[in-house]
Structure 1
């Protein structure tokens, strides 16, 4: 972390408190992103983007204010921003309005997340060209898009309570798309791989090359796949699909600000508002959020309020037991903050966000779960979600599906949407596999102005009941 930014953040805290703020925290952040895009073995672009600045959050007379400044050159600039923020709080203050924050221990710590193999643009280009070649070698493939990228990040948090926390980490990710065309039909399969760490996140055991071959073969096979008729029945969902399902109808409604209706106008609420302590699924349903899962894109030690992270149980043996909390909502729900207060970067006010929300592992082998199905469908890999305002009615398309007949996987199916309601689907779950997997999510949106966030989500193979139909 740039020592000048840290010094400006420290001075900003003192100035804000001397100017009448009741509380203040400042995030100094630096990020550099390097990326390359390769289409059909041709390098389309190579980019380097750098950003740094301060995000300043404070309250006075019970009213929050937030401001940010990019690449500050003098403390006078920061003083001006803080003065404006304090005036804004005073203007919006209401009589008897207070902000009550859950007590949080002060920390003075620096955390460097491990990087086993430092990434570089040259290596990204080499990997991208190799994957593009692998994809294009498959019959009927007409286009490959490979987009490897990495970011180096440094975050310094300081607040008026005495905490000083620095976290330094690297994320390495590759997005790939394989497009097949034949007989007037076009099909595409995409995948994202990566995590928090170095180049090993995509290169370990030839991982990314194997995935390139896999998506190309599946896209090619889908040209001759069958369509599906609408039917309600047994579905077996693979971990990749489960991770998006968990994200949309378990993760988002677990964010306490949604439960309280604080962002209802632009993002919706929560279908289980007021149901803590109530049964929402079978005894084999366990859901948690865990920022401590190593190498996940949602791995961090302290959130943007300086709260130390831990695994948080959300659903335990089918009972809703908690939501994700910040220091303010924890007071309202009479519980502890969970370390989920995060912002995309210093430019934004932190919000309650998932870190790595997952359905817990089961004890069943996936092939045994499939063998017990007389008539049903194997649903594979996430695609596009459509969810209502309260995360109650859901519809998620999958990249492909397969018919299950008498315990055997038969026909390959394309253009399939899976639908249901949250409570009915979770009540229907009768088996969870022992193949727990965490998947990377790179574009979760929330807030106004919209913040796009990276995170992990996961789960095992899950069997339940839902409706499937064709996209067309």
Structure 2
């Protein structure tokens, strides 16, 4: 991290305290991002972006205020921003009935360099992207191949008025791929994202990207001759990739305490299980956790944007709702320790309670055995598009493809399939979880006003339950 930027963050704390605030924290951040877009064998563009700045939160008269400064160069810029923020807090505090309190947190002074086995490099990124694009393009019936590999090098320095000083340096490497096939008036697309926190090994290990490119291209081509599914309520076996999005939408988001409190209802929704801590909300096979300590996940970090150390948090245990994800403010309200889930997209935004790596827990079932017990059902594979109501109660998620299960055997390939249900009914129907636990990358989760896009991990094993299945066409 640039020394001047770090020094200005430290000055932010000193000036704020001298100005009489109750609390202040500053996040100084630098990010280098490089990406390449390759379409049908041609490089459409190569982009390189460097970004730096400081985000400042403070509490004056029991009220939050936030400001950010891009590429600050002087203490005078810091002073002006803080003075304006203090005026905002004082103004809004006049009409605020309840003053905020923060759950206590201990002081931390630490520097963390996350491991990177193979340093990200644009030239290598282009090589990998070109190889994957060719694999997709060379597959029969493919008319469009789009590959977008990218990486970021990040340095984040957190300091607050309680004495914490935390520097975290890490890289993220991701590749997004889309294969589109067309024949006889029918078009089918299959996409996938690979990657994680670390170096190029996140997309190159065991030829991960090339294998995924081959898989999506082949599947897009095969879907041209696939059948639509008839609408019926049936047993479904969902693979880990599909489960990761389902977990994200109907387990992760409603576990964020700000949603439970209704603070997100105006633009992003709430939680149907408000007030149900300690109650049964699913079958005994349902275990859910959020874990920012899973190495290599896009949701892996040691300290959140409040300086709270991360840990695994059990959200649901054997079908019983146990906890929510908490920040220091909601933790005080719920009388629960903060869970280390307070994060912002970058320094320009106020941190929000966000999933890190929310997952359904592993089971001991062999997936083939799960399928063999199904007389009439569906194997649901790979996430696509979710549609969820405001309280995360009614849900509908499309998949990349599905297959019919008849008398324990996987048969017809099916296209344009949507899976639907209600959260409590589906959770209660889960009767088996596989031993194939997998964490998948999520790169575009939106929340907040103004909207923030966040990267994270989500995952789980294959699971078996009951839901309504139909094709959109």
TM-score normalized with structure 1 length: 0.99
Q: Which residue of 2 aligns with 1:401?
A: 402
Q: Which residue of 1 aligns with 2:385?
A: 384
Q: Does 1:100 align with 2:85?
A: no
Give per-residue Cα distances to partners, 1:215-262, cap 9 Å, x unaligned: 000000000000011100100000000000000000000000000001
Q: What CA distance in whole angstroms lies between the structure 1 residues aligned with 2:40 and 2:431?
A: 44
Q: What CA distance in whole angstroms lies between the structure 1 residues aligned with 2:242 and 2:351?
A: 28
Q: What CA distance in whole angstroms lies between the structure 2 residues aligned with 1:119 and 1:300?
A: 19
Q: Which residue of 2 aligns with 1:118?
A: 119
Q: What CA distance in whole angstroms lies between the structure 1 residues aligned with 2:180 and 2:54?
A: 42
Give per-residue Cα distances to partners, 1:190-237, cap 9 Å, x unaligned: 000000000000000111101111100000000000001110010000
Q: What CA distance in whole angstroms lies between the structure 2 residues aligned with 1:77 and 1:331?
A: 33
Q: Does 1:307 align with 2:311?
A: no
Q: What CA distance in whole angstroms lies between the structure 1 residues aligned with 2:364 and 2:153?
A: 38
Q: What CA distance in whole angstroms lies between the structure 1 residues aligned with 2:64 and 2:92?
A: 9
The aligned length equals 472
**Cα pair 1:37 1:46 within 8 Å, conserved:** yes
Q: Does 1:353 align with 2:358?
A: no
Q: Does 1:421 align with 2:419?
A: no
Give per-residue Cα distances to partners, 1:56-115, cap 9 Å, x unaligned: 000111110000000011110110000000000000114763221111110000000000
Q: Which residue of 2 aligns with 1:272?
A: 273
Q: Which residue of 1 aligns with 2:440?
A: 439
Give per-residue Cα distances to partners, 1:376-398, cap 9 Å, x unaligned: 00000000000000000000000
Q: Does 1:54 align with 2:39?
A: no
Q: What CA distance in whole angstroms lies between the structure 2 residues aligned with 1:353 and 1:133?
A: 37
**Cα pair 1:244 1:382 within 8 Å, conserved:** yes
Counterpart secondary structure, 1:223: helix
Q: What CA distance in whole angstroms lies between the structure 2 residues aligned with 1:280 and 1:259?
A: 15
Give per-residue Cα distances to partners, 1:403-438, cap 9 Å, x unaligned: 000000000000000000000000000000000000
Q: Which residue of 2 aligns with 1:35?
A: 35
Q: Does 1:45 align with 2:32?
A: no
Q: Does 1:128 align with 2:129?
A: yes
Q: CA deviation at 1:54?
A: 0.3
Q: How does 1:444-463 map to 2 (within 5 A)?
A: 444-463=445-464
Q: What CA distance in whole angstroms lies between the structure 2 residues aligned with 1:207 and 1:257?
A: 37
TM-score normalized with structure 2 length: 0.99
CA RMSD of aligned residues (A): 0.7
Q: What CA distance in whole angstroms lies between the structure 2 residues aligned with 1:468 and 1:332?
A: 40
Counterpart secondary structure, 1:323: coil
Give per-residue Cα distances to partners, 1:148-205, cap 9 Å, x unaligned: 0000000000000000000000000000000001111100000000000000000001
**Cα pair 1:61 1:97 within 8 Å, conserved:** no
Q: What CA distance in whole angstroms lies between the structure 1 residues aligned with 2:210 and 2:130?
A: 11
Q: How does 1:49-448 map to 2 (within 5 A)?
A: 49-94=49-94, 97-448=98-449
Q: Does 1:467 align with 2:448?
A: no
Question: Which stretches of structure 1, 4 residues or longer, exceed 3 Å deviation after superposition?
Answer: 94-97
Counterpart secondary structure, 1:115: coil
Stretches of structure 1 that go unaligned for 5 or more consecutive residues are none
Stretches of structure 2 that go unaligned for 5 or more consecutive residues are none
Counterpart secondary structure, 2:221: helix
Counterpart secondary structure, 1:229: coil
Give per-residue Cα distances to partners, 1:242-286, cap 9 Å, x unaligned: 000000000000000000001110011001000000000111110
Q: What CA distance in whole angstroms lies between the structure 1 residues aligned with 2:424 and 2:241?
A: 21
Q: CA deviation at 1:466?
A: 0.3
Q: What CA distance in whole angstroms lies between the structure 2 residues aligned with 1:18 and 1:376?
A: 66
Q: What CA distance in whole angstroms lies between the structure 1 residues aligned with 2:326 and 2:383?
A: 27
**Cα pair 1:304 1:341 within 8 Å, conserved:** yes
Q: What CA distance in whole angstroms lies between the structure 2 residues aligned with 1:97 and 1:314?
A: 28
